[in-house]
Amino acid sequence: MTTEETIFSKIIRREIPADIVYEDELALAFKDVHPQAPVHILVIPKKALAKLSDAKPEDQALLGHLLLIVKRVAQEAGLTNGYRVVINTGDDGGQTVHHMHLHILGGRQMLWPPG
């Protein structure tokens, strides 16, 4: 399932502002408006894929691309001591924005288990 209208599609179309740190033809990365760590960046596909569990085999290259963007953005953010990548998926996963996104969290020690 895809969804066209979320706050993230508005950010992609520049209809609402965001602190964008990376962009290419397939993806966008911007700072989370409610940071949960000193560094908290979201990486999203421009394609309106609602959630990870909706991904199809044809999304394989896109999903790999997003992970390599995570690596690049984390490096550029100076997260040399590690970081956490989170994909909240669906209701039990705690997903609130229905446009798939990867959270990059860093700049402090992460805890386990997560809440």
Burial of 102 (0-12, 13-18, 19+ CB in 10 A): buried
* Active-site pick, 40, 99, 101, 103: 101
List Cβ neighbours of 20 (8 Å cut-off, separation of 6 or more): 11, 28, 29, 30
Active site residue 101: yes
| Helix (DSSP H) and strand (DSSP E) numbers for the chain | 2, 5
Q: Which is nearer to ligand DGP, 31 or 65 (CB)?
A: 31
In whole angstroms, how close is the CB of 26 to ligand DGP at the nearest point? Answer: 19
State how far the Cα of 22 lies from the Cα of 115, in Å rounded to an integer. Answer: 29
CB closer to ligand DGP out of 51 and 79: 51
Question: Which of 80/96 has CB closer to ligand DGP?
Answer: 96
- For the CB of residue 109, give the shortest distance to ligand DGP in the complex, in Å: 19
The dihedral through the CA atoms of 48, 36, 85, 96 has a sign that is negative
Q: Supply the minimum distance, in Å, between the C-beta of residue 65 and ligand DGP.
A: 19
Residues that bind ligand DGP (CB under 6 A): 7, 18, 30-34, 42, 88, 94-97
Q: Please identify every residue annotated as catalytic.
A: 101
